[in-house]
Amino acid sequence: MITAIVGLGWGDEGKGKIAHIESQNNDVVVRYNGGANAGHTICLDDDIFKLHHIPAGAVASNEPDLVLTHGVVINPVSMVEEIRQLRRSNIDIADRLRISDRAHCVMPWHIAADVRKGGKIGTTKKGIGPCYADKMHRSNAIRMGDLRKKLDDERTQRFFAVDETFHGQGLWQQYKEAAEFLQPMIFDTGQLLRNAVGSGLNILFEGANGILLDVDFGTFPYCTSSGVGPAAIPQSCGLPNLHLDRIIGIIKCYATRVGEGPFPSEIITPEDEQLLSTCMSESSWFKHTNRPYPIAAKEMSHLIREKGNEYGTTTGRPRRIGWLDLGLTRESVALTGTTEIALMHADTLAGIEGIKMYDDGSLIDIPSYDLDDDIHFRTHFVGKVNAYCGPVSMYSYGPDASEVCLL
């Protein structure tokens, strides 16, 4: 069985939890895009794991093999720290982590460039976009397979020394030590994955970000720098003939977005309307829509944010809050080929009066529900998503990995 997990929104949908659950049934768990700009949070009893590069299968009890393909960009220093952080929780993944020798390295100058320029489009300032740009420029790019050699190159050392942003020799030494630490984990992951597929192993492909942040299909230019959906897997993994048996699309019972960019169903206050209108007028994504934009109480947005702990895993930034947009979700399902939907954060909206969904320019009222007796939730909420977007196979009713109901 070959499965992919993909976000149907702007990221932060809860993919990490479902990826962890699905990892228990897989031999190999693969991360195929993005970098340390994406964070997956997994709650296991009293332990909370916040992963950035490493797949959610890292904390699965069956200890699957973990693969980072050449579609991922890697900060070697923060990758080492992530591995060591897991070791402090008695989880050692070094013997089962495989990193592509073709994966590109996020270097200090990428982070510096992102800090200077990334604010205009709301990036996480982790150097991801500039690293992908250097990948396309080729001449200045450094890949994991030649990291140690390139660090000793005179030109690279000059990069470290020339700007105080890079902290000179001390930071160069950190990268050198990280390169040596990671060296035993660097492989030709394309060949490894082709062998795994040929052997009939169960493989889980774990996407980062969400399809509405895809560099081609997302709300450009307010998007990420890589392909996000399952269509990106063959190129990013070296699997040209890959067939996916299941594609699980993850969406919250409401919508969130971090940073800048259009957000049609956002719950906003009247004083925010002018700012949103300005944003919309500058984005080509809105030029072919005529939908109205709902205004609702600031208190509702604040309530959902606090109840759902809607703060970025990577940046800590408060997430913008909106209603579930059925029209966009339908589009996301089509773009990703989703075969089943996982609804997250059902507990966050439980007990709240005035729940709505958004579709084709209209707000739809949804009856409040109590998950102790979930007939209303299944009838009015899950039923609406089933009818408009496709089959819901599970929903999450709490933060812990065990708090999922299969339908």
Find how far residue 27's CA is from the centre of its chain: 22
Confidence band (pLDDT; 50, 70, 90) for 257? very high
For the chain, the structural domain boundaries read 251-406
Length of the chain: 407
174, 178, 179, 181 alpha-carbon torsion, rounded to 10°: 140
> Which residue out of 12, 114, 214, 325 is catalytically annotated?
12
Is 40 catalytic? The answer is yes
Q: Say how far apart CA 404 and CA 343 lie, in whole Å.
A: 10
Q: Say how far apart CA 224 and CA 219 lie, in whole Å.
A: 9
What is the secondary structure of 310-322 as a DSSP string? -B-TTT-PBPEEE
b/e map of 272-285 (b: 16 or more CB within 10 Å)?
Answer: beeebeeebeebeb
pLDDT at 258: 87
Give the rounded percent of residues in the chain with a pLDDT score beyond 90.
59
Q: What are phi and psi of 249, to 5 degrees?
A: -95, 130
Confidence band (pLDDT; 50, 70, 90) for 40? confident
Give the mean pLDDT of 14-23.
93
> Which residue out of 20, 40, 53, 110 is catalytically annotated?
40
Is 12 catalytic? The answer is yes
Say which residues have a Cβ less than 8 Å from residue 14's Cβ, sequence separation at least 6: 250, 252, 342, 344, 345, 396
Q: Say how far apart CA 100 and CA 385 lie, in whole Å.
A: 38
Q: Which residue has the tokens 């996301």?
A: 332
Q: Distance of CA 78 to CAs 82, 182, 263, Å?
A: 6, 11, 31
- Least-confidence region, from 7-11, 215-219, 281-285, 370-374: 281-285
Check pLDDT > 90 for residue 148: no
Give the tokens for residue 295. 């205004």
pLDDT at 291: 38
Check pLDDT > 80 for residue 162: no
- Least-confidence region, from 35-44, 113-122, 244-253: 113-122
Sheet holding 65-68, edge to edge: 186-187, 97-100, 65-68, 28-31, 203-206, 2-7, 246-252, 340-344, 392-396, 404-406
Considering only CA atoms, which of 297, 286, 150, 299 is closest in space to residue 222? 286
Check pLDDT > 70 for residue 285: no
- Note the maximum CA span of the chain: 67
Q: What burial class does residue 138 get, using C-beta atoms within 10 Å of its C-beta: 0-12 exposed, 13-18 middle, 19+ buried?
A: exposed
Which tops the pLDDT comparison, 70 or 312? 70
Whole-number mean pLDDT of the chain? 87
Check pLDDT > 60 for residue 3: yes
Can you name the CATH fold of 251-406? Adenylosuccinate Synthetase; Chain A, domain 3 (3.90.170)
Check pLDDT > 50 for residue 294: no
pLDDT at 382: 96
Check pLDDT > 50 for residue 133: yes
pLDDT at 277: 54
Confidence band (pLDDT; 50, 70, 90) for 129? confident
- Least-confidence region, from 130-144, 148-162, 208-222: 148-162
pLDDT at 316: 74
Check pLDDT > 80 for residue 364: yes
24, 28, 33, 36 alpha-carbon torsion, rounded to 10°: 60
